[in-house]
Amino acid sequence: MRHLISPLDFTTEELNQIFDLAASIEQNPQKYAHVCDGKILATCFYEPSTRTRLSFESAMTRLGGQVIGFSDAGSSSASKGESVSDTIRVISCYADICAMRHPKEGAATVASSKSLIPVINAGDGGHQHPTQTLTDLLTIKNLKGRLDNFTIGLCGDLKFGRTVHSLIHALVRYPNIRFLFISPEELRIPDYILEMLKERKIPFEEVIRLEDVLPQLDLLYMTRVQRERFFNEEDYVRLKDFYILTTEKMKLAKEDMLVLHPLPRVNEIDVEVDDDPRAAYFKQAQYGVYVRMALIMTLLELV
């Protein structure tokens, strides 16, 4: 039995199999509409994340399966002090597979060590969010046709953004990737990631302004820059416009550059950009369902 706790739990070959399956599901959803008949997915969400939970529920429902679960710790036995280990043992009796989100880092690791059913980490604090990474990779692969040979710009909060960290770790396994990190000084990419890139001799650059590097990019991954991350208001006001993508800035970008964003966005991508064919973030949400369908089938060994 396998679990998905970190995006690196699967080899690039195994990921390719999942992506191929996701592509097949996209082509012919009818063929997969009953593969999970009689199976139950438990969504154990100790903190609310409506988007991620609905994506899992949609995926299981589209496969013909059923969903049970809770969506905040207050309505679950966790509020009565039940441990993750005990909860997963009980859930193992109720369901065939579990997607767990928890505010504490490593919660899904604990669950997987006690579980009798496959566990999917749907986010454990600031640590990992592997299904988001799989979604990002599938989006790039389907829209670009490859996962190698490109320059990717990661923009915004690179210090606390776990989706960014996971994506970098996943992408370094593919050849010829160049990273451009675009962030304010306060929100720079952590040193341990830069050290890892240096060790692997993977080219990267750090810049402050998005416009300076936009023409070089094949992919632009946007994230939120939150006001509360700044030491003072002046810095926030001074810098925030650097990290807002507008139609004006999009004129600098390549014809076939893709804009990705893990969503939800606040104001870092101007709504006018949504109509640009290079905006891929809503397609990303669609791929998120396909990749979760493929993942559920893979972990339930229905492939």
Partner 1 sequence: MLNVGKIEEGFVLDHIKAGKSLDLYDHLQLDKLDCTVAIIKNARSNKMDKKDILKVECSIDMLDLDILAFLDHNITVNVIKDGEIVEKKELILPKRIKNVIKCRNPRCITSIEQGLPHIFFLSDEQKGVYRCKYCEEKYSEPAK
Q: Which is nearer to partner 1, 87 or 284 (CB)?
A: 87
105-144 mask for partner 1 (x: CB under 8 A)?
Answer: xxx-xx-------------xxxx-----------------
Count of chain residues binding partner 1 (CB under 8 A)? 15
Residue selected from 17, 54, 104, 194 as contacting partner 1 according to rule CB under 8 A: 104
Quick check: is 51 catalytic? yes
Q: List, in sequence order, every residue forming a beta bridge with 204; answer none if it has no partner.
A: 179
Quick check: is 39 catalytic? no
With beta carbons less than 8 A apart as the criterion, state whether 99 and 120 touch: yes
The reply to whether 77 sits near partner 1 by the rule CB under 8 A is no
Q: Which is nearer to partner 1, 110 or 239 (CB)?
A: 110
Q: List, in sequence order, every residue forming a beta bridge with 120; answer none if it has no partner.
A: 4, 99
Quick check: is 104 catalytic? no
Active-site option among 3, 53, 62, 101: 101
Distance between alpha carbon 237 and the CA centroid of its chain, in Å?
Answer: 28
**What is the H or E stretch that residue 45 is in?**
strand 40-45
186, two tokens: 């306060």
Quick check: is 2 catalytic? no
Residue selected from 84, 137, 170, 297 as contacting partner 1 according to rule CB under 8 A: 84
Spatial CA neighbour of 51 closest among 301, 298, 292: 292
Q: What's the residue count for the chain?
A: 303
**What is the H or E stretch that residue 52 is in?**
helix 50-62
What is the β-pairing status of strands 150-155 and 177-182? Answer: parallel
Give the range of 96-104, 155-163, 251-259, 273-281 binding partner 1 by CB under 8 A.
96-104
Q: Which of residues 139-168 bind partner 1 (CB under 8 A)?
A: none
Start-to-end Cα distance in the chain: 14
Q: Which residues bind partner 1 (CB under 8 A)?
A: 83-85, 102-107, 109-110, 124-127
Active site members: 51-52, 80, 101, 129
